[in-house]
Structure 1
Amino acid sequence: MYTLYYSPGAASMLPHLLLLEIGAAFQLRLVDIESGANRDADYLRLNPNGVLPTLAIDDQPCRETPALLLMLCERHPEAGLAPAPGTPSRNAFLQWVLFLANTLQPAFRLWFYPSDVEGVDAVALKAAMRVRIESCFDQLDELLADGRPYLLGAEISALDFYAVMLMRWSRNMPRPATQWPRLKALADRVRARPSWIHLYDVEGLTEWA
């Protein structure tokens, strides 16, 4: 049994989507960020960083979005959300998951919260992060240049859900991800899936549906 601690539209979207795709039994626990519930002592015992998501696996709290992606793929190989270990596709899968985790997602963090870096001009930092985010979109778009429907090829993987979740975060930026036609086509494929539609209904999301 899984328990997912989530906030609507936060990075908890990724494990939520993967759990729906897997078809595993899970329960949801809302953490209201606006009221500061992520800083409550009870939640900090689960996640000392006070961020989302946290996924309790067999009553053990686990955190870090890309780690949860890998854990769920390993625990449910039958879902086909990751290539098999030792294959060339697996190498690409790991490379691009870590690219999203180490390059694109942190850039979004600084775009939204430039005050995280003290003593730095916020306007300049946001401009730099915009360049980095758009460069990442360029690289993801290039992966699709050969006509493949998904980032690894013919079949959808957890990588696509991760990328589209991050693309969603750009929706109010000067150049959102949907301005790259191939990325928009990828997003449209993911947004048409029952898991995405169900998540929007459960989490009460409406924008970028």
Structure 2
Amino acid sequence: MNKYVVIGRPRAGSLIAEFLLSAANVEYEFKNISIDEAQQEDFKRMSPFSKIPVLVCPDGQTIFETVAIVIHLVEKFPQLAPQSSTSERNSLWQYLALIQTAVYAGYHRQFYSHRYAPKDAAEEVGMLAAQDREVAYSYINANLNPYVLGKNKSAVDYYLYMVTRWDPNINQLLSNKGNLESFVALMKEDEAVRKVLLSHNL
């Protein structure tokens, strides 16, 4: 049987695929792809906007977009999430969508503002993205206990931890969010997180 292949870069969104596969004790291969390589037509056939990550499944199917990858892995490895048709499972999807649209995309809009607006408006786009992130982080902070869904860790916790790693002012972000600060400390000690980060010397 072929292994999963995660195509990405060590500090980027491909971390979520690696975190989840490691948490599920599934062997996989990591393939590093440069920004230039991602512009090649063979990669664009897998990911039309040249974005990472791409997950290559053992049967050869390719999946792009981080949320789609998380959904696939949750369905494939049920230990990563609460049982189907439960309120906790519904909350998992809710928080996953919130983090994707307000936090993950917010970082992208801030760091790559020129892709979203003309030069004279790019700074404002970045500021608005930062405001959206703050609203989302504050809501999440108020509900962490100690994980996103309560006492039990799930796939969405790895997603949240990944995006916090991208914050350019992490100390400022956590300074007034005690629950989020404690959450980040917990996730740093997670076995799957430590294994993946160590593999990339992070």
Could you tell me which residue of structure 1 aligns to residue 62 of structure 2? Answer: 61
Aligned residues: 198
Distance 1:177 1:59, change over 3 A: farther
CA contact (8 A) 2:117 2:125 kept: no
CA contact (8 A) 1:168 1:177 kept: no
Q: Give, in whole Å, the separation in 2 of the partners of 1:138 and 1:117.
A: 25
Please list, as runs of the form range in 1=range in 2, the aligned pairs for 1:57-206 lying within 5 A after superposition.
57=57, 58-77=59-78, 80-119=79-118, 121-144=121-144, 148-172=145-169, 175-177=172-174, 179-205=176-202
Q: Give, in whole Å, the separation in 2 of the partners of 1:39 and 1:177.
A: 36
Q: TM-score, normalised by structure 2?
A: 0.92
Letter in 1 for 2:73: L
State which of 13, 16, 33 in structure 2 corresponds to 1:14: 16
Name segments (4+ residues, structure 1) moved above 2 Å: 171-179
Q: Give, in whole Å, the separation in 2 of the partners of 1:164 and 1:178.
A: 16
> What are the Cα deviations for residues 123-164 of structure 1, in whole angstroms up to 9, with x where unaligned?
2222211111111110010112xxx21110111000111011
CA contact (8 A) 1:177 1:183 kept: yes
Structure 1 residue 93, shift from structure 2 partner: 0.9
Consecutive unaligned residues in structure 2, runs of 5 or more: none
Letter in 2 for 1:42: D
SS at match of 2:195: helix
> What are the Cα deviations for residues 49-104 of structure 1, in whole angstroms up to 9, with x where unaligned?
10110001121111110111111011011xx2111111111111111111112222
CA contact (8 A) 1:167 1:177 kept: no
Letter in 2 for 1:140: I
Percentage of matched positions with identical amino acids? 23
Q: Give, in whole Å, the separation in 1 of the partners of 2:187 and 2:52.
A: 22
